[in-house]
Amino acid sequence: MNVSAGVLSDSTPILVGAGQVVEREANDISPMALASQAAVNAIKDCEATGSAAVIAEAIDTICVTKLFSDMGRLWAGKCGRSDNPPESIATCIGASPDHRIYTETGGNQPQSRLIEFARAIARGERSVVLMAGAEAIKNQRHAERNKRELDWSEQFEEVLEDRGFGESSATSQEIKNGLYNVVYYYSLIEQAQRHAAGRSIEEHRYAMARLLESFSAVAAGNPYAQFAGSQSAEEILAAPAMTHLYSKRMIAQDGVNQGAALLMCSIGKAKQLGIPEARWIYLHGLAEGCELEVTRRPDPGVSPMAGLVADKALATAGITIADIDLIDIYSCFPCAVTSVATHLGLPIDGSRQLTLTGGLPYFGGPGNNYSMHALAEAVWQAREKPDSFAMVTANGGMLSKHASGIYSRKPSSIDWGNTETDISSNELLACKVCADPQSGSIISYTVHHDREGGAHAVIIGETISGERFVSRTAKDDNATAFAMLAQDPTGKKVKVTAPDDERLYFELG
């Protein structure tokens, strides 16, 4: 239904500014400096009749996406950190917000927080919200390799609302049996998709490479992409192996220096600040929900919640996927793309553009903040095509935390203060987990090579009674892993032993 902007409530939330920044060469810039520059760019992008200082002074909430370096030892560095990331940005841009928020972990966070703030703005609980984030892992690693000391430390007195890590997306059994890296999780998901499609490993790897080649082509033309040039399917396949399915060029690349920011406010505030209507982007569909742990999903290759969230966003917008002109499907791993695209009935052979940025393996994977870049692109590209609809899907964990949004220059009269956006996981069917399996059959598997030339495997298994479990090969059992590479073990019987502390070791047969 066509709606005139003139009849909309002044409390209607809109996106009014987007900013991005990239540093392709290593330097000394901190992640908060990058985020601050992206924020400056987002304010400029508003093209307000007033000054940037006036807009900065109007910001009452600054929300920063959780940095990878604050998530754990895998990304932790010795460069120091800001103890209040939102205040780092506020200091740079001359803002004095009432609220400083540091998000939970997860690639869904930019999209999920946009949903939260849309509701708050519509209810009059917030006025002008700046969302920002960045990663400077490229700079951090460059300094460490060259034994250079960088000091990114900042200390502030202002109050910070740190939302912590959020709920875990993994079971204890999964973690204790080899699933301590998201690459292994996604390889299990990918393997289940491969088996369901009836492809050999070689056929599936080529299908993934063909899809990702189309993402790389988009990144090659994006001035904010971390990596120059495009990758052919053959080059993607030829990169070093990560698992039995993935090469290094098939997965998100976190060694980046990238930042992005968005500015949200109400229509009434945009008028007050002199932000032209031509800059306004309306929210047409918003939805989010959390998936079950991978072991508990009836089909490990599918995330039903991803489909439910995408469907709800479309239904709220009152359109179908055929009406979507611009789309960015979260692309940390190929199966993350195909899970959503297949559900929506979109081709996964590279014939349709499924990314606005170029995707996490080629545009760059700036930690939890990638979808902020996708949203920035949605804002810009929707402005260029005023009759279009843009859809952004985001994903955190292991296809665990989903959030989707639909955006357009076309006005929307939806009352986001009273529109339900959340989908409960109670709607999902769940498998029971077996704590002490003796035997079972393989539902999905992944094999990884180590630096010493050996290999180990992790499986999702199912007992004869239909309960699920995760198990791995014993430390010195290379033979089982290599046997699984030689012949597809899906459906094969396994024997399981439990030495101690939830560890489960399996052998074929």
Percent of the chain with pLDDT over 90: 93
Tokens of 24: 């392709």
Q: Which residues of the chain have pLDDT under 50?
A: none
46 and 67 Cβ atoms separated by less than 8 Å? no
**For residue 282, which phi and psi values (nearest 5 degrees)?**
-95, 155
Largest CA distance in the chain: 73
Q: Choose among 371, 367, 363: nearest CA to 231.
A: 363
- Token pair 């040039």 is found at 229
Query: Which H, E and C letters describe 314-361, residue by residue?
Result: HHHHCCCHHHCCEEECCCCCHHHHHHHHHHHCCCCCCCCCCCCCCCCC
Task: Using only the alpha carbons of the chain, give its radius of gyration.
Answer: 23
Rounded distance, CA 358 to CA 336, Å? Answer: 14
The H-or-E segment that residue 128 falls in is: strand 128-136
**pLDDT recorded at residue 411:** 97
**pLDDT recorded at residue 452:** 81
Q: In angstroms, how far is CA 214 from the centroid of its own chain? A: 19
Rounded distance, CA 203 to CA 198, Å? Answer: 9
Distances (CA, A) of 217 to 302, 374, 390: 27, 16, 20
**pLDDT recorded at residue 1:** 53
The DSSP secondary-structure symbol of 8 reads S
109 and 66 Cβ atoms separated by less than 8 Å? yes
The DSSP secondary-structure symbol of 424 reads -
255 and 227 Cβ atoms separated by less than 8 Å? no
Rounded distance, CA 505 to CA 494, Å? Answer: 10
- Amino acid (one-letter) located at 436: D
H helices of 99-257, where?
Answer: 109-122, 137-145, 172-176, 182-197, 201-220, 233-238
316 and 286 Cβ atoms separated by less than 8 Å? yes
247 and 357 Cβ atoms separated by less than 8 Å? no
Strand duo 257-266 + 13-22: pairing: antiparallel
Tokens of 220: 């090659």
The H-or-E segment that residue 21 falls in is: strand 13-22
Report CA torsion sign: 109, 110, 113, 115.
Answer: negative
- Amino acid (one-letter) located at 303: S
Strand duo 455-462 + 99-102: pairing: unpaired
Distances (CA, A) of 380 to 262, 326, 366, 404: 11, 11, 20, 18
- Amino acid (one-letter) located at 125: E
pLDDT in tens, 177-225: 999 899 999 999 999 999 999 999 999 999 999 999 999 999 999 999 9
User: Residues near 23 by Cβ (< 8 Å), separated by ≥ 6?
Assistant: 29, 34, 136, 138, 139, 257, 258
Rounded distance, CA 404 to CA 398, Å? Answer: 16
Q: In angstroms, how far is CA 385 from the centroid of its own chain? A: 25
In which region does residue 408 sit, left (phi positive, over 0), alpha (psi from -120 to 50) or beta (all else)? beta
DSSP string, 440-496: EEEEEEEEEE-TTS-EEEEEEEE-TTS-EEEEE--TT-HHHHHHHHHS--TT-EEEE
The H-or-E segment that residue 392 falls in is: strand 390-396
**pLDDT recorded at residue 500:** 78
**pLDDT recorded at residue 206:** 98
- Token pair 């875990």 is found at 168
- Amino acid (one-letter) located at 12: T
**pLDDT recorded at residue 5:** 74
- Amino acid (one-letter) located at 395: N
